[in-house]
Structure 1
Amino acid sequence: MDAQGRGRAENIDPADQWVLNPHTGDYELRLTPSAGQSAVPSPRRAAPRGDGPRRGSPQGGGRGRRDVPPQRRRREAPAAQEQASGRRRSRPKKKSKAKKIMLWTAGGMAMVVLVGAGVGYWYWEHLNGNITSQDVVGAKNGFAKDEAINVLVMGTDKRTGKGNEGYGDKGSVGHADTNVLLHVSKDRTNATALSIPRDLVVDVPDCQVKQKDGTLKTIKGTPNSRFNTSLGQSDRDAGCVMKTVKAVTGITVDHFMMADFNAVKTLSSAVGGVSVCVGKDVNDPDSHLKLSAGTHNLQGEQALAFLRTRHSFGNQGDLDRIKVQQQFLGSLARKMSSSDTITNPRKLTSLAEAATKALTVDKGIGSLSSLKDLALEIRKVPPKNLSFTTVPVIDNPAEPTPVTVVVNPTAGPPVFNAIKNDVSLTATKKKQKEKQDAKLKGPKSAASAVRVNIYNGSGRTGAAQETLTELQNTEGVLKSSQMGNKPNQAKTSLEYAPDQASQARRLADIMGLPASALKEGKSEKNDQGLPAMTLILGGDFKGAGTPVDGASAKAPEVDKTTADKAVCAK
C-alpha cells in the first residue's frame, strides 16, 4: 500500500506525513508505525549539494526522498517552518464542553424559531379558514387607512348552533335583530356607534342578491316594513340591510359583520367575562336571566340572556333593551382593549378563535389580514371617544296603539348629517373645529370681485355649468369660469391663495360651503390669465343654490353614552 493509502487507513492526512529535513532542506516522508508494521528508518543525510542530480531525487532514482506536490508544500509551509525553528506543530484543540453546550443551545433556539414560524403560519391559516365571508352587492373591496370607515354590525335572531334550539321562534330565518352602524372617524380620534331599532318602520328598498352561480337576483322592496325584515325575509342578505341603512340615513355602509347567538356566548367567554351592572334585582322568565342588583361578570349563556332581556328594563320595549346592549358592548370594548387581555396569550388565542368562528363578514374584509388591520384601526379610538347613541325616533303615528317607531323628522337628520360629515358626538375635536371655523370669519369680498374656476368632480353631469349659471345670473359672481371635469371626489373643495381669503369666505357664504371645504394653497389662472380660486364640486353637491352637506353639520344634542363609562341598567 502506498503512503497516501496508508495515511487514509489510519485517518491521517497524507500531507501530515511529509516533513522538512533541516539538514537537507527537502521534504521527506515519515510514516507513523502501526500495529504489525516496523517503523520507517530515519532519512539519511543527503550528499553535498552540487550541479548534478542528488541522491533521493527523481532524476537520481533514489527512494529516500520524494518531492511534495506544490499544493502540499503551500499547505504545509507554516508547519514546516515551525519545525525548522525548533517548534513542534500543535494539534487543534478540542472544543471545550462549555462551547459545545452553547452551540447546541443556539442550534436548539434556531430550531424553536423555525418550528415556531411553521406553527405560526399553520395557526394563521387555521384562523383564516375559520372565517365565513359572503359576496354581497354594495360592500367595498377592503378599506383605506386614511379614510373614515362605516361598518354595520348585525346580530341575527337565527337559532342555529348548539344550545340555541330552546329559545323562542326557533324557525326564524335570521332577521336583523340587533343593528349597530359603527362610524370610525378619518383621523381615528373618535367613533360613533349608532343603534338602529329593529322595530323601526322604513321603506325597505329593492336589492340584489348574488346567487351561487354568480348571477344577480333582484328582490322587490317592501314599503312600511320593520327594519329587521331587511335581512332574511324573502332571501334578503346583508347587502340588502346595507342598502336599507343608506335609504334611511343617507350614510353609505362600507362593510358588514354579522353574528348569531353563539358569537355572544363565545366572545364573552373568550375575554373571561364582561362586567355589567343592574340597578335592581332581575328575574326574567323569558330570557331566564336572574341577577341581584349590582355588578356582575357575565359570559356564555348568562351574557346572551342579558342581551335578550327586555321585559325587565325600562318600559319593557326594544328601545330600553338597546340601552342594555350598548352598555354590554361598551364594557366588552373596555375588556378587549385592557392590558389584561392584550398581554395575555391565552385570552388573545381564545379571542382569535372565537371571533373568526363567530363572525360572518363581506369578502372585502374576509381574510384574517384584513380583519386584523381593521381591528387595529378601530383600536386607535380611545374608549372615552367611542359614543353610543340610537336613531332618534317617535311613536309610529299610523298606529292607534303604537308598537313600532319611525325616524324623528326633526332630530334624526342632524345625527345622520354629523356622521356623514365625520363630526364627532364628543368634544374631542373642539379646538380643531374652532380653528377650522375661523376660516369663515373675517372680511368678505364683494361677489363681483370673486374669481373662481369651477370643475365638476361630483359625477353628476352638468354640475359645473349649472353652478356657473347660478353664480353669474343669480349671485353676481361674474368672474367665474367653467373648466370641465376632474376625477370624482367625495367632498366639495375650494382652494385659494392667502391673498384670496376674503374671496373664499364670500364664495363659501354664497354656496353654503362648510369650513372643512376651504383649503389655503395656491391659485391658478382663469380665462383672462388672472389668478383664480379652484372650486371642485364633489359627491356632496346637491344642486346649484342648495347648501353643500356639512355646512350646518355640528355635533347635535343627543342622548348618548361613551365606552369608558359603566352605566347600570334599570
Structure 2
Amino acid sequence: MNVTNPPPPRIAGLRALQAFGLSLSALSLGGFALLSGAGPTAAAATVPGQAPSFTVLIAGRDIVYCYYQQPCKNQDQRTGLAQPPNTDTVMLVKIQGTTAHVLNIPRDTNVGPFDRYRSVALQKINSQYFSGGGPQSLVKAAETITGEHIDSYVVVRTDYVERVIDALGGLDVTVPEPGIEWVDNAAGVNLKLAPGAHHLEGKEGVLFLRVRKGFGDDYGRIDHQKQALTQLAGKLRTPQGLAALPTILGGIGNGVETDVNPATIAALRPYLGQLKLSFATLPTDPIPGTFNLAVNRERLAQVWGDVPATPPNPELKITVVDASGENLGPALTRALTALGYRNVQVTPAPRSGEASQVFTQQDVSDAAQLADTLNLPRLQGERFPVSAGEVGILLGADAADSLAALKGLGTPAP
C-alpha cells in the first residue's frame, strides 16, 4: 500500500506469507498432528469444561541458501549459509475463550532499550531466531517487547506456506498501481504482476505475499497479511479446506517447528467454529538515527486485547466497500442507519474473494462495536485506507453467506 499516494479503499492486495501458521499451525495443524505424537510439547493451559486461554507466538522464516539460488539440503543448519534466515513475520496470538487477539510485531522492533554500543541489526526482533539460537530466543524477545507471557511457538517456512496455498486453491489478490516487479536473481525471484485482479497459485503467491514494494513499507505489508489471514482462515470452513487437511497436517518436521501442546488444542477444537479474530499492529516510535522502532506501551493498551465496545457513535463516518458481487452495500447502509449511524457511504468495487471485515486505524472501540454487531473480524492497522473518525467495512464475496440477512432487506421503495 503506497503511503504517499494511498489506493482507493478496495483493500488491494493479499499477502499471507508465513503468518498463515496462526490458524493452521497453532490451531488445526498443531492440534491434529501433535495429538498423533509429533514433536515436543509445552505445558497445557486448560481447565476441564472451559475454553482454553493461552498465548502462542507465530513466526515465518525464510528458506536458507548455501549457494547461489541453491537451498541448503538441511534447512535447520546454521553455518555455511549464503544468507541467514530472518523472521520478518512475527505475530503474538492470545486465545481467550472464543476470541483470538492477534498482535503483529514489526520486523524492525527493538528488543528492550536501544543500546548504541551494540549492533543495530542484532537488536531487531527479526534477527533473534537466527542470532539468538532458535524459537526460544524469539519467544523471549517477544515477551520483552510486549510484556506478555508466551506459552508456545509455531515457526513456519515459506515452502510450507506454498504447499498450503496450493491445497486451499490459491489466493485472489488485487495488485495496486503501478503493478509489481520484484526480481532477485540471487534468490531465484522473478515476480511481475500488472495492476488489477489476479489468482495466484502457491509459488507465485508466496512471492507476492512477501513483497513490500507497492505496499508502502513493513506496516503496509503487515496490514495486508492480516487481510490474507482472514481470507485463508475462512477457507478452512469450506469442503476444499477440509480436503486440504492432509497437506496441512504434513507440516510438522517438514516446514513447521512448534511446541504447541496437544491437550490445549484439543480443548480448543469444539470452539473453533465460533472463534472470532481481531488484529492489531504493535504501536511503535522511531529510534532517532536508526531504522529500529521502540514499542509504545501506552498506545498498545488502546489497540490490542479486549477493547470495550462502545454504543453506536452517530457521528462516526462509515465507509462500506461493496465487493460482494451481490450489491449488499445499500442494504447494509439501511441496516446501519436503523442502528443510529448517520454518516454511511458505499463505494462499489469489483467482486472480490477477500474476506469481509471491519478495519480501522485508531478508532478501535467504534470498530469493535461494528465488528460485534456484524460478527466480522476486526482489523486495526497503521496503513488501512481510512482516516481518524472513520471505520471501513469490506464486503467480500463471502458476505453473501455470512451476512445473508441483508438480502432480505430488499431494495428501498422509490
Aligned to 1:182: 93
Aligned to 2:57: 152
Match 1:294 to one of 184, 193, 196: 196
Is the 8 Å Cα contact of residues 246 and 253 (structure 1) preserved in structure 2? yes
User: Does 2:230 match 1:330?
Assistant: yes
Aligned to 2:207: 305
Match 2:380 to one of 559, 562, 565: 559
Distance in 2 (CA, whole Å) between partners of 1:257 and 1:249 is 17
State the Cα deviation string for residues 111-136 of structure 1 (Å, max 9, x = none): xxxxxxxxxxxxxxx9669986357x
CA RMSD of aligned residues (A): 4.2
Counterparts of residues 377-392 of structure 1 (less than 5 Å): 379-382=272-275, 385-392=276-283
Distance in 1 (CA, whole Å) between partners of 2:113 and 2:208 is 30
AA partner of residue 87 (structure 2): A
Aligned to 2:351: none
Deviation at 1:377, TM superposition (A): 5.7
AA partner of residue 390 (structure 1): T
Match 2:129 to one of 218, 228, 231: 231
Is the 8 Å Cα contact of residues 330 and 564 (structure 1) preserved in structure 2? no
Deviation at 1:410, TM superposition (A): 3.8
Per the alignment, in what secondary structure is the counterpart of residue 212 of structure 2? coil
Per the alignment, in what secondary structure is the counterpart of residue 234 of structure 2? helix
State the Cα deviation string for residues 338-386 of structure 1 (Å, max 9, x = none): 34423x4xx3333333467332111x52xxx55862772672344xx31
Is the 8 Å Cα contact of residues 155 and 259 (structure 1) preserved in structure 2? yes
Distance in 2 (CA, whole Å) between partners of 1:201 and 1:305 is 26
Deviation at 1:223, TM superposition (A): 11
Distance in 1 (CA, whole Å) between partners of 2:220 and 2:92 is 18
Deviation at 1:336, TM superposition (A): 1.7
Query: TM-score scaled to structure 1, two decimals?
Result: 0.42
Distance in 2 (CA, whole Å) between partners of 1:300 and 1:161 is 23
Match 1:351 to one of 230, 248, 253: 248
Q: Residues 184, 164 of structure 1: CA spacing in aligned structure 2 closer, same or farther, 3 A cutoff?
A: farther
Deviation at 1:404, TM superposition (A): 2.4
Q: Which has the larger radius of gyration?
A: 1
Is the 8 Å Cα contact of residues 191 and 387 (structure 1) preserved in structure 2? yes
User: Does 2:164 match 1:255?
Assistant: no
Query: TM-score scaled to structure 2, two decimals?
Result: 0.56
Aligned to 1:194: 103
Aligned to 1:279: 176
Aligned to 1:403: 291
AA partner of residue 231 (structure 1): Y
AA partner of residue 140 (structure 1): A
Is the 8 Å Cα contact of residues 91 and 104 (structure 2) preserved in structure 1? yes
Deviation at 1:424, TM superposition (A): 4.7
Is the 8 Å Cα contact of residues 265 and 300 (structure 1) preserved in structure 2? yes
Identity over the aligned pairs, expressed in percent? Answer: 22
User: Does 2:33 match 1:133?
Assistant: no
Deviation at 1:265, TM superposition (A): 0.9
Aligned to 1:245: 142
Q: Residues 278, 355 of structure 1: CA spacing in aligned structure 2 closer, same or farther, 3 A cutoff?
A: farther
Match 2:165 to one of 268, 274, 277: 268
Is the 8 Å Cα contact of residues 157 and 172 (structure 1) preserved in structure 2? no
| Structure possessing the higher relative contact order (Cα contacts under 8 Å, 6 or more residues apart) | 2
Gaps (5+ residues) in structure 1? 1-125, 206-219, 432-553
Is the 8 Å Cα contact of residues 204 and 225 (structure 1) preserved in structure 2? no
Is the 8 Å Cα contact of residues 204 and 230 (structure 1) preserved in structure 2? no
Aligned to 1:63: none
Per the alignment, in what secondary structure is the counterpart of residue 149 of structure 2? coil
Deviation at 1:192, TM superposition (A): 1.7
AA partner of residue 330 (structure 1): T
Distance in 2 (CA, whole Å) between partners of 1:245 and 1:259 is 17
Is the 8 Å Cα contact of residues 282 and 312 (structure 1) preserved in structure 2? yes
Distance in 1 (CA, whole Å) between partners of 2:396 and 2:273 is 20
Is the 8 Å Cα contact of residues 155 and 260 (structure 1) preserved in structure 2? yes
Q: Residues 372, 296 of structure 1: CA spacing in aligned structure 2 closer, same or farther, 3 A cutoff?
A: farther
How many residues matched? 277
State the Cα deviation string for residues 224-251 of structure 1 (Å, max 9, x = none): 81112221204x2212222222222111
Deviation at 1:310, TM superposition (A): 1.0
Distance in 2 (CA, whole Å) between partners of 1:319 and 1:130 is 38
Counterparts of residues 161-176 of structure 1 (less than 5 Å): 165=70, 171-176=82-87
Distance in 2 (CA, whole Å) between partners of 1:304 and 1:241 is 23
Is the 8 Å Cα contact of residues 45 and 52 (structure 2) preserved in structure 1? no
AA partner of residue 235 (structure 2): K
Distance in 2 (CA, whole Å) between partners of 1:163 and 1:377 is 47
Distance in 2 (CA, whole Å) between partners of 1:146 and 1:359 is 25
Deviation at 1:269, TM superposition (A): 1.3
Distance in 2 (CA, whole Å) between partners of 1:297 and 1:157 is 23
Q: Please, which moves more after superposition, 279-288 or 139-148?
A: 139-148
Is the 8 Å Cα contact of residues 61 and 158 (structure 2) preserved in structure 1? yes
Q: Residues 204, 179 of structure 1: CA spacing in aligned structure 2 closer, same or farther, 3 A cutoff?
A: farther
Per the alignment, in what secondary structure is the counterpart of residue 254 of structure 2? helix
